Amino acid sequence: MNQTGTRPDPDAVKRSLEVLGDRWTFLILREAFFGVRRYGCFQRNLGIGRNVLAARLAALVEHGLLERVRYRTDPDWYEYRLTEAGLDLFPAILTIKAWAERHLLDSKNPRLHIRHSACGAELAPLVVCEHCREPVRASEVEYEATDRVA
């Protein structure tokens, strides 16, 4: 960490919060990761108002996390599927979940257990540097100036 006076502007995280910061949005994505695709199923599982659900689904489609796909005709019925961008959010959500289980929950809170089917172990996520594969720590990074945009 440095303490320089330059103030980089990491739009990325701010933008994520705009897209994901809403509680319902996040819960809808969670359902999608559990395999839910249909409007009625989201509605039933979350007990969410129809207007709110419709607005949040539309926003997730607009932001490219879900796609609305017709799965039946006459009448046309649609379902919501995670896009590549939506699926790619999974590791980040998993990392937040693990952090909260370590630091925010106590032993009375139930935990959702996730198994890593690739290896069979209970899944504990670890964030590593793609280059050296060592775990990432806040104390081992340096912030650099942001790109200048013309």
Give the three-state DSSP class for 78. Answer: strand
Of 50-58, 61-69, 71-79: span binding its own copies (CB under 8 A) = 61-69
Contact between 47 and its own copies (CB under 8 A)?
Answer: no
Of 54-62, 69-77, 130-138: span binding its own copies (CB under 8 A) = 130-138
Task: Give least dist CB 99 to its own copies, A.
Answer: 5
What element of type H or E holds 68? strand 66-72
Angle at 120 between CA 136 and CA 96, to 5 degrees: 35
Q: Tell me which residues in 71-100 interact with its own copies (CB under 8 A).
A: 82, 85, 87-100
Contact between 109 and its own copies (CB under 8 A)?
Answer: yes
What radius of gyration do the chain's Cα atoms show? 19
Among the listed residues 58, 62, 69, 124, the single contact to its own copies using CB under 8 A:
124
State the angle between helix axes of 90-103 and 23-34 in degrees (0 to 180), rounded to the nearest 10: 110
Neighbours of 36 (CB within 10 A): 19
Q: Tell me which residues in 14-43 interact with its own copies (CB under 8 A).
A: 14-17, 19, 21-23, 26-27, 30, 33-36
